[in-house]
């Protein structure tokens, strides 16, 4: 049996809007299914309850559960990018229409969900057995808001 772990994202009432926003940004993405609240349930009958969606092959579930829970920075979604153009693309789209730049490659989208837009090489650079390399890369990261791939590569190489 294959076990797949799929995040469930709790929204107040914006699950469908958020899923449509996310699927418009990422390739190979789609809305899979939408369910609605019925009679005598948590929200008014006919309100969207869940939205199953896929972002570039990863399944997600978005739930309209009400206002009691909000996203925090304790959980973020990481987008591993191969080029600066990819970093720029995801950064611009996810901060659009009320998103917020944070620092060190982190941002919050207009729904308050935290994302990390980072080079795919970042785990190797900061997980290196060469502590000096890790220190150089992280010293650069700490100075940035949106990450600059060329600067990070130079730091990883010792420059």
Q: Is the domain of 63 the same as that of 86?
A: no
Contact indicator for 51, 36 with CB cutoff of 8 Å: no
Distance CA 6, CA 91 (A): 23
Q: Is the domain of 85 the same as that of 47?
A: no
Q: Is the domain of 34 the same as that of 108?
A: no
Identify the helix (H) or strand (E) that includes residue 124. helix 122-126
Q: Is the domain of 53 the same as that of 30?
A: yes
Q: Is the domain of 82 the same as that of 48?
A: no
- Taking alpha carbons only, the member of 84, 148, 70 closest to residue 113 is 70
Q: Which residues contact 111 (CB under 8 A, 6 or more apart)?
A: 11, 14, 18, 21, 71
Looking at residue 57, its pLDDT comes to: 94
Q: Is the domain of 60 the same as that of 77?
A: no
* Strands 58-64 and 8-11, bridge-based pairing: parallel
Looking at residue 1, its pLDDT comes to: 67
Q: Quote the Cα angle for 58-60-64, to 5°.
A: 165
Q: Is the domain of 8 the same as that of 78?
A: no
Report the predicted TM-score, pTM, of the whole model to 2 decimal places.
0.93
Last residue of a domain, one of 67, 89, 117: 67
Last residue of a domain, one of 9, 35, 67: 67
Domain limits for position 13: 1-67
**pLDDT digit of tens for each residue in the chain (159 aa)?**
677 899 999 999 999 999 999 999 999 999 999 999 999 998 999 999 999 999 999 999 999 999 999 999 999 999 999 999 999 999 999 999 999 999 999 999 999 999 999 999 999 999 989 999 999 999 999 999 999 999 999 999 997
Q: Is the domain of 37 the same as that of 114?
A: no
Q: Work out how many domains the chain is built from and give that number.
A: 2
Looking at residue 2, its pLDDT comes to: 74
Last residue of a domain, one of 67, 92, 114: 67
Looking at residue 4, its pLDDT comes to: 86
């Amino acid at each position: 049996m294959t076990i797949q772990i799929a995040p469930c994202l709790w929204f107040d009432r914006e699950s469908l809007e958020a899923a449509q926003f996310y699927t418009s940004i990422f390739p190979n993405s789609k809305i899979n299914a939408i369910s609605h609240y019925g009679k005598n349930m948590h929200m008014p009958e006919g309100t969207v309850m869940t939205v199953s969606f896929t972002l570039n092959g990863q399944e997600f579930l978005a739930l309209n559960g009400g206002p009691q829970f909000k996203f925090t920075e304790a959980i973020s979604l990481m987008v591993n990018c191969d080029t600066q153009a990819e970093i720029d693309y995801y950064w611009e789209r996810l901060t659009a229409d009320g998103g917020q730049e944070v620092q060190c490659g982190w941002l919050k989208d207009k729904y308050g969900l935290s994302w990390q837009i980072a080079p795919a090489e970042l785990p190797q650079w900061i997980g290196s057995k060469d502590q000096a390399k890790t220190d150089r890369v992280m010293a650069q990261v700490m100075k940035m808001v949106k990450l600059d791939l060329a600067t990070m590569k130079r730091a990883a190489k010792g420059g």
